Amino acid sequence: MSEHMADRAALRGDCARCFGLCCVALPFAASADFAKDKKAGTPCPNLQGDHRCGIHARLRQQGYTGCAVYDCFGAGQRVSQVTFGGRDWRSGPPEHARRMFDLFPVVRQLHELLWYLTEALTLPAARPVHADLRRARLRTERLADGTPEELAALDVAAHRQEVNVLLLRTSELVRAGTRGRKKNRRGADLMGARLKGADLRGADLRGALLIAADLTGADLRGADLIGADLRDTDLTDADLTGAFFLTQPQLNAARGSAGTRLPESVARPAHWTAGR
């Protein structure tokens, strides 16, 4: 396994080593994604005593699609096993649980940045900024490894902004070498857009709203998809070869097929082939 493959493996959720933090710390509202309301810090009614989900195999059928698409990028096991040394939130006073719940979203943001930085270092076109990317990844790793007190004092928004400068430069370098129009659709409202067969090679789709858009057979090779909202986006037979900054949660929220071509950094969602 290569260094970057190993790094990515550590940036995926491992529920067996987590205390069900996403099922307790995070709030959700009754909607198409969640069957019921739940307040932050309140255990989901489906959470079992062993910190596992009692309906994990039936989340979509039970109305919890939001849970089915979620991934903590490995933050859950870090907070559970490293930040708090394996001490369960159920085993201490209320303030221990509250601190754990407060810090979980902070570490999750840092791990998401680590995912992007790790991927950027695999992109040959970004070689001019690889040294800066390595330094940023090391600093982010050190921040994520901080004590509860250090994490509580961290200005994670400011750190995200610093890293984003490098990710933007990475995007420019990678897309400059992509054949196509390199369209700028950054932050565009493309909800429900009919983009069947569209040529979006090298497009900047950072933060674009593509909810329920039809991208059947679209060419997304070399596109920047960081932060793009792909909920219910139809990627049937689309080509995402070389698309970058695409995360598993984004892909899990979309629809696709066996004919959808994907980057190596993500896996084909099981519900695509299961027809759900």
**Could you tell me the CATH number of the domain that includes residue 222?**
2.160.20.80
The dihedral region occupied by 86, where left means phi > 0, alpha psi between -120 and 50, and beta the remainder, is left
Domain containing 212 equals 180-276
DSSP per-residue letters across 12-46: S--GGGS-SGGGTTS-B-SSSS-SS-B-TTS--TT
Residue 144 clears pLDDT 80, i.e. is over it: yes
Last residue of a domain, one of 175, 202, 235: 175
144, 175, 206 - which closes a domain: 175
3-state helix, strand, coil in the chain (%, to 5): 40, 5, 50
Same domain, 117 and 191: no
The mean per-residue pLDDT over the stretch 46-60 comes to 91
The Cα–Cα gap between 100 and 91 comes to: 12
Residues 157 and 193 in one domain: no
pTM > 0.75? yes
Q: How far, rounded to the nearest angstrom, does the alpha carbon of residue 276 sit from its chain's CA centroid?
A: 21
Same domain for 31 and 168: yes
Residues 197 and 267 in one domain: yes
Whether residue 115 is found in the same domain as residue 202? no
Instruction: Give the total residue count for the chain.
Output: 276
Q: Of 133, 159, 175, which residue sits at a domain end?
A: 175
> Is residue 142 located within the same domain as residue 220?
no
Gap between the Cα atoms of 197 and 193, Å rounded: 12
For the segment 173-182, the average pLDDT, to the nearest whole number, is 81
Integer Rg of the chain from CA: 19
pLDDT tier, 151 (very low <50, low <70, confident <90, very high otherwise): very high
The residues that bridge with 219 in the sheet, in sequence order, are 199, 239
Same-domain check for residues 256 and 184: yes
pLDDT above 60 for 274: no
Least confident of 60-64, 82-86, 260-264: 60-64
Residues 193 and 125 in one domain: no
CB atoms under 10 Å from CB of 37, counted, come to 11
Q: What is the mean pLDDT of residues 192-198?
A: 97
Q: Distance (Å, rounded) from C-alpha 166 to C-alpha 136?
A: 9
Burial class from Cβ neighbours inside 10 Å (0-12, 13-18, 19+) for residue 41 reads middle
Mean predicted confidence (pLDDT) in 16-31: 93
CB 124: neighbour CB atoms within 10 A?
9
Considering the domain architecture, whether residues 149 and 245 belong to the same structural domain is answered as: no
One domain, residues 141 and 247: no
Please give the tally of structural domains in the chain.
2
Q: What is the mean pLDDT of residues 252-267?
A: 94
Residues 124 and 200 in one domain: no
Averaged confidence pLDDT in the chain: 93
My answer on whether 187 and 164 are in the same domain is: no
What share of the chain in percent tops pLDDT 70? 95
- What is the band of 2 on the pLDDT scale with cuts at 50, 70, 90? very low
Cα separation, 178 vs 268, whole angstroms: 24
